[in-house]
Structure 1
């Protein structure tokens, strides 16, 4: 697949709630992504909730050949817009069926189970094995083809693999937040796709001094260099920047070309901004969600 994917969170209304002001414009951005060669789309039942999946279904049904949608289940939205991890088997099963209906597909190419392993202090009352067992059951029924994890600790990934092969893991990871580095290493060693969310550190990378030099040399933006670094940091990585702006979309897709032209020295300097040997899950979670 194209290693620059598309994160669909921003297609919802304000605070990732309801429909956007111009749903047709959002559909046009999705179609443009396909035209630009994007083959991987990231979404979730909780975006909207459900409205983003419905927009994707409206814009891309039937899915073009080679396009994969990774959908997250196991998270709900409170009436106040809060984000709630809910891995109850009934919730997981219901959300898989809702996503298939909203996206207009007979089977999910990739369904992630949302966990709390990359959120300091968070916990779930439902054992992961109970939630994951539902996805295994639905895969056996032909409704899911691949199973992934979102927000997994290294221990959770190992436990999950005792039950089923894991195709992809989506954790926080970017130039400033390396808390997912051990999971990334495990994915590299085991041939698992690693999909970093908040790839642009929720806007905190804008104008970062270490990005401006390579950006100026290459005639690129700081955001493109940050995405390019992720692509160079590991061959297991697929990035999912999100936008509802056509020009930003084109710029994001072009980050793959920027990655090819970053020098090894520039990559090493960017990698050295954080001591990855000391990175852990106790790093703060970004409050904004502008780049997922």
Structure 2
């Protein structure tokens, strides 16, 4: 099942994608695709619906983030062996964790804004995990039981702030619009092997990233287990799991985003995104 949120910013409604790719309005069934409605039981109820019984949504409607009211937005750094190599970084012995601000989350095709004073804005196509049940100290074997689904994330980054300003990476990771999520939340039953998904990202039509979740150092379910040792995961939390090679920072010379650039990206089975980079705007 593919779940979406559609409509104006702040007024998104829940929906699902039918077999023909049409959005069907779920607002008469659930108020949102968010924490309380991401449990296995709630998702099973939605899966039993006949999509044809739900109102069609007009084509071309804006898609919002595929998860509403995200709580924790957790990210994993240097989690692809080939990406670690391109940045001349050692393979981590344990996952590197940092936070992205929940306020940076936007829809999959919304504009991405250059922050005030930014000089080194970069892209990162990533697989994200959406938690569906509150839990802590979850074993890797049981991790899938608390996963509502998977989605596509662009972990947009400001590299100078991330790596040159001291302290934690979150300085360059949580700027407004730095967390496009979606287009869909895809339930686990639709993903045959989450550790074998092709990934790609283009800038202005030029392929920058080509990769696969098969080169992750720490797999998706291991990450759920690992993170749950240090915090209580809650329904609606999002974990974005790292990026394959091809980021701007790793190029020789480095290449960074500027206003007017267009990013397109996708992951096999999880859909695609398209963002235009726009100048800084206060507010």
Same fold (TM over 0.5): no
TM-score of the pair, normalised by structure 1: 0.27
Q: Which has the higher strand share?
A: 2
Q: Which has the higher helix share?
A: 1
TM-score of the pair, normalised by structure 2: 0.27
Higher RCO (CA 8 Å, separation ≥ 6 residues)? 2
